[in-house]
Amino acid sequence: MKEREIRKIRCGARLMAAVAFALVIFSCAESRAVLRPGFGGSITVAIPERVSKLDPVTLTQDHDLMIAGCIYDTLLKPGAGGSLIPVLLESVPEKSKNGLVYTFKLKEGLKFHDGSPLDTADVLNTFKRLASSQSSPYSWLVRDIAGVFEFKKGKAGTISGIRIIDALRFEITLKRQQPKFLVFLCFPALYVVPSSDRNFEPPVGTGPFRYIRKSAKGDIFLSANKEYFLGRPYLDAITFRPIKNERDRLTEFKRGAVDFADVPLGGLTKEERDAFGAPVQYNLKRTYFLDVNPAFPTMSGAGRRIALSRMIDRTDIVKIILNGDASPENNVSGSGEPGGLRKYGENAPRMELWYDQDSQALRLVAEKLQLNFTAGGLAVTPLGRRESEMQKFGRNEAPAFILRSIPIFMGLPESFDSPLTDGDYISRFSAMGRKYGLIGAPADRSSAAAVITIFSRKPSFTASRGLYGVENGPIGVPCFDDAYVREPDR
């Protein structure tokens, strides 16, 4: 669709919204009618980088999760007060008396965007993909299912704990009781995908929007799934547009080129708050940490990393650099070995600290860390890098530190806190640990969990006034059309 046409539709949608709002204000007081705004139109959402592949088992970034949430569905989703809401399921699964066997039934008539029916074979495939993934940080979600270990090691051709009864019904048997098991099924890593999908080009799901195409510049175009089983979406189309620099995203928002953009890590100035309006904070908690390279001699032991952690002035980072819009985090405690760090003196190896080059706030955080480490006798050089460079690097090119972040879904400590706070847990989120083959190493388990947390914050977004169809999604990131649906066109 041409840009002029898109703008025309967008303006029409806002006009309808304004008319609907006026009707609510002047409606009869006795009827207390609440009218939804007029349906239709399109929006453009700014995202920080191009999306390569929308494979649910590997997604960790907020913008990836926003897009995936438009395309895919999970079996269940979290509701208010800790409740669970069936999505692809007919009802919340029944649990056996011993708490080990769960019985599921899919809704009838579910279809993927390509018209193929969704059945239990697709559900089994979804679990097998996650269980067998070597790169997913979420494989622990299914580790309590009987037979997952044997399947992952290639000792079995399927997961023995998942029994297919028929096209709609299946059972899952656990090795041990896991009170949070059904909550785990709400995670994006378990978005149900067709068993025929191997490359996610294009991604095919059952969600409220269909993937249409990706432009040469990286824009992703989605259109409403008119046959969505929960009702046609409020919006007709969504465009996700990559704009790397966080300040550029706000500039494009201010001039009306985008309708929805994230707030910079360091927050908004007073002038920006006045110009953009109050941002909306979402429930997802994102933790920022140093991914430590255990191959460097200065960081090869837990005691030295404790000393490193104690050098960091977290309070100053949060108050001065982030305008108080974050919380200090520290997963390292105990007495360190500062002498083991300072003994190098002038011979201390020079170490690089990589950070996202498009974030002004992270640059300032990296520079603050440099000052902290210099005071502790370490020579650290901050270097801005593209996000892709921080994920893929040669073994001999690895820096000493990478400043990274990970999401903590739905407030669950099991989601991502465990790999950071449990000293006996090998961090699956450490790119360093994966690069140096430390994942699963029985020897120095603390070296494999070489991460030092710094701060955490909840993501904030600013949206055009009168923008409807955007909600705080079930996993804590913006969800489009979660609460606004319409009946299929007659």
pLDDT score for 334: 63
pLDDT score for 138: 84
Taking residues 305-316, report their average pLDDT: 89
The reply to whether 317 and 410 lie within a common domain is yes
pLDDT score for 304: 76
Q: Beta-strand (E) ranges in 127-256?
A: 162-164, 169-173, 209-214, 220-224, 232-233, 237-242
For the ranges 19-23, 58-62, 297-301, 303-307, the maximum mean pLDDT occurs at: 58-62
Provide the 10 A C-beta neighbour count for residue 74. Answer: 25
pLDDT digits (tens, 9 = 90+) for 250-266: 999 999 999 999 999 98
Instruction: Please determine, for residue 11, whether its predicted confidence score (pLDDT) is greater than 50.
Output: no
Taking residues 437-449, report their average pLDDT: 41
> Left (φ > 0), alpha (ψ -120 to 50) or beta: where does 417 sit?
alpha
The reply to whether 115 and 30 lie within a common domain is no
Rounded Cα distance, 115 and 226, in Å? 12
We report the CATH number of the domain holding residue 342 as: 3.10.105.10
The reply to whether 412 and 476 lie within a common domain is no
pLDDT score for 219: 97
Instruction: Please determine, for residue 18, whether its predicted confidence score (pLDDT) is greater than 60.
Output: no
pLDDT score for 327: 92
We report the CATH number of the domain holding residue 481 as: 3.40.190.10
pLDDT score for 198: 73
Residue 272: C-alpha distances to residues 251, 263, 267, 326 (Å): 10, 10, 9, 19
The reply to whether 289 and 394 lie within a common domain is yes
**Residue 30 vs residue 67, higher pLDDT:** 67
pLDDT score for 82: 82
The reply to whether 160 and 174 lie within a common domain is yes
Are 151 and 159 contacting, i.e. CB atoms less than 8 angstroms apart? yes
DSSP state of 23: H
pLDDT digits (tens, 9 = 90+) for 192-227: 999 987 788 899 999 999 999 999 999 999 999 989
pLDDT score for 53: 87
Q: Is residue 199 part of a domain?
A: no
For the ranges 22-26, 70-74, 296-300, 446-450, the maximum mean pLDDT occurs at: 70-74
Share of the chain above pLDDT 90, in %: 44
The reply to whether 32 and 118 lie within a common domain is no
Taking residues 366-389, report their average pLDDT: 89
Instruction: Please determine, for residue 24, whether its predicted confidence score (pLDDT) is greater than 50.
Output: no
pLDDT score for 9: 37
**Residue 89 vs residue 358, higher pLDDT:** 89
We report the CATH number of the domain holding residue 185 as: 3.90.76.10
Taking residues 420-444, report their average pLDDT: 44
Our count of domains for the chain comes to 3
Q: Identify residue 191 by its one-letter amino acid code.
A: Y
pLDDT score for 206: 97
Residue 33: C-alpha distances to residues 14, 30, 36, 181 (Å): 21, 8, 10, 41
Which range marks the domain in which residue 324 is found? Answer: 285-457
Tell me the average pLDDT of the chain: 80
**Local structure of 7: helix, strand or coil:** helix
Taking residues 189-193, report their average pLDDT: 96
pLDDT score for 425: 37
Domain end, chosen from 190, 219, 250, is at 190
The reply to whether 276 and 298 lie within a common domain is no
What is the pTM (predicted TM-score) of this model? 0.81
